[in-house]
Structure 1
């Protein structure tokens, strides 16, 4: 089958075959990575696990037992025992920078394949049409003309067949990553508020007091 494709598509068949094999490899590899590491976040479960996190009892910790990259991020963050909001945000951001790119790996190349495959198909189309016109110039052998037209159409179809699944899987994977990002941001805000509720309350009280003092000074100056 591959030999027939090479004979029909001509020299452009080699980069098209390479693009097809790379596309399949990336899709399979990314699918395995997502199956092992990607889990949608159940906010209620995560908030409960975060609130009950005990860094002194690591073995029976819920976050350690949970599968998914989000659980790993929060486990690695809380095990460092952040003392305040700033430390918590710093540790969490650092873990996200370390862990989340694992899901995005190779997706840029998959998008490149989706964009370049139709161009390779078009190149084969031009090559096939050139051969057809050369045959016409030499008298127009019907068999050779048919081969040129066949090469032109075959490479176009091959380019599109490679491009469509590559683009589809690229957008599918990135949609899942974007969903996880949004869930992580939502969870970050709620977990931060839950863990450092007292600190946030004190900060608000200080802000209110400062605002009140400014208002008093303003009234005194006006008087």
Structure 2
């Protein structure tokens, strides 16, 4: 393996660096995007029960905000529970943009690695071919070993770049799809909470007050 890396030339160093960085990002994203960390099971139903029973202690809301991305979104709705529905929705959308940005952390870096790695491999191929032609100019075509060295550098660097780029593309698209799925589910939970807050506020109104005001 070490001999292959040496044969690939200097371009193998940045390719290997990108490979290590991509591996670190993939491991970190798998850990951070676990479903129970983003969408804790039962959290939405529990918060809706708080709203129905009016158990909305500020300390509970603060703990909820730090619980998970879903908790942060639900806490934003609870902060605006005394405001009209449209204002609540606007607040949830604003916080949602920040939550999505956090969920997409390192995605641009992983996408860049997927794009740059094959280009680095191609660059190594170009340098390998240049080296081969320069040796042909100086020694002629009689030395097959020197020709094989240039061709080997070209092929190894290309293969290395593709070996880094292909998994990076696959994981990049997988994480993008996973995040999109989480966002849809968080939106559903937020809308359900807003509906529950509307219902609880309607229940809290004494119907006799409307009759008195009408009279």
TM-score tier after normalising by the smaller chain length: 0.7 to 0.9
Residue 192 (structure 1) aligns with: 194
Q: Distance in 2 between matches of 1:184 and 1:92?
A: 10
Matched, 1:135 2:151: no
TM-score of the two chains, using structure 2 as the length reference = 0.76
CA-CA distance at 1:40 after TM superposition: 7.4
Matched, 1:114 2:114: yes
Aligned length: 195
Which of 154, 157, 178 is the matching residue for 1:152? 154
Q: Distance in 2 between matches of 1:185 and 1:124?
A: 47
Residue 168 (structure 1) aligns with: 170
Q: Distance in 2 between matches of 1:14 and 1:84?
A: 58
SS of 2:10's partner is helix
Residue 29 (structure 1) aligns with: 28
Q: Distance in 2 between matches of 1:132 and 1:75?
A: 64
Residue 182 (structure 1) aligns with: 184
Q: Distance in 1 between matches of 2:102 and 2:66?
A: 18
Structure 2, unaligned runs of 5 or more: 203-215
CA-CA distance at 1:187 after TM superposition: 3.1
Residues 83-117 of structure 1, C-alpha deviations (whole Å, 9 max, x = no match): 32133213322321332211111101110110111
SS of 2:33's partner is helix
Q: Which has the higher contact order (CA 8 A, sep 6+)?
A: 2
Residues 102-137 of structure 1, C-alpha deviations (whole Å, 9 max, x = no match): 111110111011011111111111111222223333
SS of 1:100's partner is helix
Q: Distance in 2 between matches of 1:24 and 1:152?
A: 24
Structure 1, unaligned runs of 5 or more: 201-223
Residue 208 (structure 2) aligns with: none
Matched, 1:16 2:34: no
Residue 56 (structure 1) aligns with: 57
Q: Residues 80 and 11 (structure 1 numbering): CA distance in 2 closer, same or farther, change over 3 Å?
A: same
SS of 1:11's partner is coil
Matched, 1:74 2:69: no
Greater shift in the superposed pair: 143-152 or 80-89: 80-89
Q: Residues 113 and 97 (structure 1 numbering): CA distance in 2 closer, same or farther, change over 3 Å?
A: same
